[in-house]
Amino acid sequence: MEKTLVLIKPDAFGSNHTGDILKMYEDAGFKIVAAKVMQMTESLAAKHYAEHIGRPYYPSLVEFMTSAPIMALVLSGEDVIKKVRALNGATNPVEAAEGTIRKLYAESKSKNAVHASDSPESAAREIPIFFSACEIFD
């Protein structure tokens, strides 16, 4: 089974949408194999968003992601990366399809409720940033 990293970002976590979002993932047939509530630090953000360092939006991205708790998840399932990204919806909630997580819960393009790995390579890089092998239960 394929795995993906999902982050429920400070906006959705702080607005008490975590349970609704988790239910959407489970109802879609994905298995939660790891989960934790945590505060992202600047160094953790630098690891996770390494490819964005130096871009104009990077400082505001780090400020947002370190501003309040998040929930980190590993989801497992068949073709989970592609399917989770479809369920999440377009980055800009205005452009997101009806019924997607971002259409329902995102505040804006920058406060967009959730993150999900965009490829198997990204998932393989991102999951160990947030979870050790002993924290993932297949």
Q: Residues 75, 22: contact at Cβ < 8 Å?
A: no
Encode 80-109: b = buried (16+ Cβ within 10 Å), e = exposed. bbebbbebbbbeebeebeeebbbbbbbeee
d(CA 100, CA 106): 10
Residue 52 appears among annotated catalytic residues = no
Q: How far is CA 26 from CA 6, 80, 93, in A?
A: 13, 12, 22
| Residues across the chain | 138
- Catalytic member of 17, 48, 52, 115: 115
Active site residues: 115
